[in-house]
Amino acid sequence: QVQLVESGGGLVQTGDSLRLSCAASGRTFSNYAMGWFRQAPGKEREFVATISWSGGTAYYADSVKGRFTISRDNAKNTVYLQMNSLKPEDTAVYYCASTGRAGPKLDLMEYKYWGQGTQVTVSS
């Protein structure tokens, strides 16, 4: 079992930056790929970014490519999402998740463990 707790969300203005953190506990965090997803009101949960167990491979949704960066610190059992140049359309609840496997995945159905989410609101 893996427990995930997100933090770092908040209310910001267009163009601002935020860094989300996801602290993991339980089974060996460093063995697993991690991902960030988001869900806006009235919309389905969507993929944002994913990173391999080693941090050597990462993939991004086209909508965030070049603005967001996913990273991880296995010594701290934490994965991060640095969000720059935020836009109102980035407003959503952001969730971190773990696949329970090594390879990064874009499909949310591949993820076994989920955090409770953190709200990000970007005002125009």
Place of tokens 């965030």: 64
Task: State both tokens at 120.
Answer: 């990000």
Query: How many CB atoms sit inside 10 A of residue 9's CB?
Result: 18
Any bridge partners for residue 95, and if so which? 37
Task: State both tokens at 92.
Answer: 């959503």
pLDDT per residue as tens, the chain (124 positions): 789 999 999 999 999 999 999 999 876 788 899 999 999 999 999 999 999 999 999 999 999 999 999 999 999 999 999 999 999 999 999 999 998 888 899 999 999 999 999 999 999 9
Q: Cα dist. 123→41, 66, 91, 111 in Å?
A: 15, 20, 8, 30
